[in-house]
């Protein structure tokens, strides 16, 4: 009997120790919860209120696209929420267009959305299967059309079997493409993009340019900067109806315009 009583005493002691070491439970403060919910409601009310509704849409840097066209592409409308509109996704959609190299959509409080784009420019045309490929200064295909819209150079002599919109032309004769890109930059430099009618780069070491009714023999691209500048200066003095040739292969020789009858 003595042993059993001692065992009961030990059990009581163990329970007391457990009660002693048990951590007190934290009570949830109902006022804190109510306050937090009220803050969330206020924030949501502000975000979804007409205060941040888009009332004005503005574009910057766009020449190929109108503001309405850009807004339509990213599904941006008046009344959309200025804060919650998916700007990052909109930028990705815009940059999928070959004409747009960079895009940034930004909110200007309280109610204006600004679409900023950096556009690629058409620098020439490449004939292809009865149509024209519009290429930029990098040789990237921006679009295809049945006709040329602006007075820009038509490039012949590039060899390729296919192309992808938005990608650089996969030409076999890469040296010829480099000649085109170099001439494009120089013609832009001297404001001649609307002057040179045709460029033949079949042989990158024996290049021809055609302006109005004048055939210009450029040869290779040594002294290219000076040759393109001379074209601009000389063509100002030759009437558009005159037919003839110019030989610019060797700039150390006298430059003579030879008339053709």
Give the per-residue pLDDT at 99: 97
- Quick check: is 56 in a domain? yes
CATH at 100: 3.10.20.310
Residues 85 and 182 in one domain: no
Residues 146 and 232 in one domain: yes
Q: Is pLDDT above 60 for 245? A: yes
Q: Is pLDDT above 80 for 196? A: no
Q: Which of 73, 94, 119 marks a domain boundary?
A: 119
pLDDT band at 110 (very low <50, low <70, confident <90, very high): confident
Residues 112 and 128 in one domain: no
What tokens does 69 get? 């066209």
Compute the Cα dihedral for 171, 173, 176, 181 and give only its sign: positive
Q: Is pLDDT above 50 for 2? A: no
Residues 113 and 223 in one domain: no
Give the per-residue pLDDT at 155: 95
- Quick check: is 225 in a domain? yes
CA nearest to 87, candidates 105, 101, 69: 105
Look up the domain containing 157 and give its range.
124-259
The pTM is what? 0.76
With tokens 């574009």, the residue in question is 59
Give the per-residue pLDDT at 192: 86
What tokens does 184 get? 């494009």
Residues 58 and 133 in one domain: no
Residues 67 and 167 in one domain: no
Residue 166 falls in which region: left (phi positive, over 0), alpha (psi -120 to 50) or beta:
left
Residues 251 and 144 in one domain: yes
Residues 211 and 227 in one domain: yes
Residues 242 and 175 in one domain: yes
Q: How many domains does the chain divide into?
A: 2
- Quick check: is 20 in a domain? no
């Amino acid at each position: 009997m003595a042993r059993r009583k001692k065992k009961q005493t030990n059990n009581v002691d163990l329970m007391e120790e457990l009660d002693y070491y048990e951590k007190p439970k934290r009570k949830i403060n109902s006022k804190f919860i109510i306050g937090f919910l009220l803050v969330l409601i206020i924030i949501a009310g502000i975000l979804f209120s007409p205060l941040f509704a888009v009332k004005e849409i503005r574009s910057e840097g766009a020449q190929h696209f109108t503001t309405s066209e850009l807004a339509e592409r990213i599904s941006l409308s008046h009344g959309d929420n200025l804060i919650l509109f998916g700007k990052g996704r909109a930028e990705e959609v815009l940059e999928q267009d070959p004409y747009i190299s960079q895009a940034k959509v930004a909110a200007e409080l309280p109610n204006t959305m600004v679409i900023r784009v950096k556009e690629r420019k058409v620098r020439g045309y490449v004939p292809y299967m009865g149509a024209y490929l519009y290429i930029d200064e990098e040789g990237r295909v921006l679009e295809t059309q049945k006709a040329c819209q602006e007075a820009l150079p038509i490039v012949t002599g590039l060899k390729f079997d296919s192309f992808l919109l938005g990608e650089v032309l996969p030409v076999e004769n890469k040296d010829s493409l480099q000649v085109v890109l170099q001439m494009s930059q120089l013609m832009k430099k001297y404001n001649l993009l609307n002057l040179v009618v045709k460029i033949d780069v079949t042989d990158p070491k024996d290049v021809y340019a055609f302006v109005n009714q004048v055939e210009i023999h450029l040869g290779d691209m040594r002294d290219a900067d000076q040759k393109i500048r001379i074209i601009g200066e000389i063509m100002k003095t030759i009437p558009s109806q005159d037919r003839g040739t110019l030989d610019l292969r060797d700039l150390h020789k006298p430059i003579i315009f030879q008339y053709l009858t």
